[in-house]
Amino acid sequence: LAEKFRLTEFQLQTSAVMKGLASIIPIDILCLFSWQQLELKVCGRPNVDIELLKRHTNYNGCNPNEPVFEMFWRILSNLQSQYQSLFIRFVWGRHKLPSAKDFNVQFQLQLLPLEIIDHDKRLPKAQTCAFCLILPRYSNELILQKRLVYAITTCREIDSDFIENEINSNLNTNYLQSLNDQL
């Protein structure tokens, strides 16, 4: 009796999931995919393809060879995958990029205007609806890395700056402390 209960206790929930899946894809063909293939189709690739992002980048009125952009791409390429995911979340509100064939929007990179002072003290700014990052003209790579990591780990909510996620606070604190030690 207990075994039968345990085997059927989530019947209502699993039926709802199956009904939802059936509205998108014929249930008969689900058996053609492994769970890993289905996860990839539904969720996308687990790692952020930085080269794919570069190919889909528009430099709004800026020279792509600006030193700050070169530093930015080096830093982003060298970040651990969890930070790369946080970056995509920061600039687009998603954790992953679409596949190359489904990538139908351009990532926008802009520079903060020269008239604004104290670029090294400013954080990068994201506009998630436009898939856009506005970078201050940082004087060196370490400052850019520190500001970028701070922004992507503390500005966690779309359009709500400086909301720290407790789960990531230790990760953020340790990483930022290592960057501070280098300054």
Yes or no: say if 144 and 121 are a contact pair by the CB < 8 Å rule.
Answer: no
pLDDT (tens digit per residue) in 71-102: 999 999 999 999 999 999 999 988 888 888 88
Catalytic choice (31, 129, 132, 155): 129
Q: What is the dihedral of CA 92, 46, 57, 149, to 10 degrees?
A: 60
Mean pLDDT of 157-175: 51
Mean pLDDT of 144-155: 94
For the question of residue 62 being annotated catalytic, the response is no
Q: How many residues does the chain have?
A: 183
Separation between Cα atoms, residue 9 and residue 138, nearest integer Å: 57
Mean pLDDT of 157-170: 47
pLDDT (tens digit per residue) in 60-76: 989 999 999 999 999 99
The predicted model scores a pTM of 0.69
Mean pLDDT (the chain, rounded): 85
Q: What does 78-125 look like in DSSP terms, one character per residue?
A: HS-HHHHHHHHHHHHS-SSPPPGGG--S-EEEEE--TTS--GGGPPPE
Q: Which span out of 53-57, 92-96, 164-168 was modeled with the highest average pLDDT?
A: 53-57
167: confidence class by pLDDT, cuts 50, 70, 90: very low
Cα–Cα–Cα angle for 80, 85, 86, nearest 5°?
A: 95
Mean pLDDT of 116-144: 95
| Res 89: pLDDT | 92
Separation between Cα atoms, residue 64 and residue 54, nearest integer Å: 10
Separation between Cα atoms, residue 159 and residue 81, nearest integer Å: 23
| Res 99: pLDDT | 80
Mean pLDDT of 156-176: 52
Q: What does the chain look like in DSSP terms, one character per residue?
A: -HHHHHHHTTHHHHHHHHHHHHTTS-HHHHTTS-HHHHHHHHH--SS--HHHHHHTEEETTS-TT-HHHHHHHHHHHHS-HHHHHHHHHHHHS-SSPPPGGG--S-EEEEE--TTS--GGGPPPEEEGGGTEEEE---SSHHHHHHHHHHHHHHB-BTTBTTB--HHHHHHHHHHHHHHHHH-
| Res 164: pLDDT | 42
| Res 159: pLDDT | 47
Nearest to 133 by CA among 150, 109, 149: 109
161: confidence class by pLDDT, cuts 50, 70, 90: very low
166: confidence class by pLDDT, cuts 50, 70, 90: very low
| Res 124: pLDDT | 96
Of 16 and 38, more confident: 16
